[in-house]
Amino acid sequence: MTDLNKIIEIIKNNQCCRLGFIDQESVYIVPLNYGYLYNNKHIFYFHGAKVGKKINLIKQNNHIGFEIDNNHQLVEGKTPCQYSMKYQSIIGKGHIELIEDNEEKKLGLQLIMKNVAHQDVTFSNQMISNVAVMKLIVDTLSCKEHQ
């Protein structure tokens, strides 16, 4: 699927994005809630603890893969080989960075709350100082829908 409006709709109708980090010779995958905006590029915001494995991996190598999927529905068949699954999925890669600017951290947290809780909220400087905010800038993505 290449329709930009449909891709944005799928992204906005989801709440969980799985990030795949390079961890030496393997992959570390973590599911995260996200905020999203499109500004000639797909941009995702995530939040989490200021220390830990995710932060360490970002500092080591900020190139990551990501995946979003939803609308799963089993399509039954008469035989096992005739079964199928309806779904929507987006996979891609990009680079992730830790946001230090307080205004952009607030924006990222507001987008997360809007996507997950459907609420417009404000954050104090104290609140944003207690959390890490990460920004994924997408380099490439592909979208698939099986109806």
pLDDT at res. 57: 97
- At 75 the pLDDT is 84
In whole angstroms, give the CA distance from residue 103 to residue 23.
Answer: 31
Whole-number pLDDT of residue 73: 82
pLDDT in tens, 11-42: 999 999 999 999 988 999 999 999 999 999 99
H/E run at residue 68: strand 63-75
Q: What is the pLDDT of residues 76-109, one digit of tens each?
A: 899 989 888 888 999 999 999 999 999 999 999 9
Q: What is the pLDDT of residue 46?
A: 98
Catalogue all structural domains in the chain, each as residue range(s) with its CATH number: 4-146 (2.30.110.10)
Confidence tier at 145 by pLDDT (50, 70, 90): confident
Tens-digit pLDDT profile for residues 119-142: 999 999 999 999 999 999 999 999
Q: Examine the pLDDT at 74 and tell me if it is beyond 90.
A: no
Whether the Cβ atoms of residue 126 and residue 105 lie closer than 8 Å to each other: no
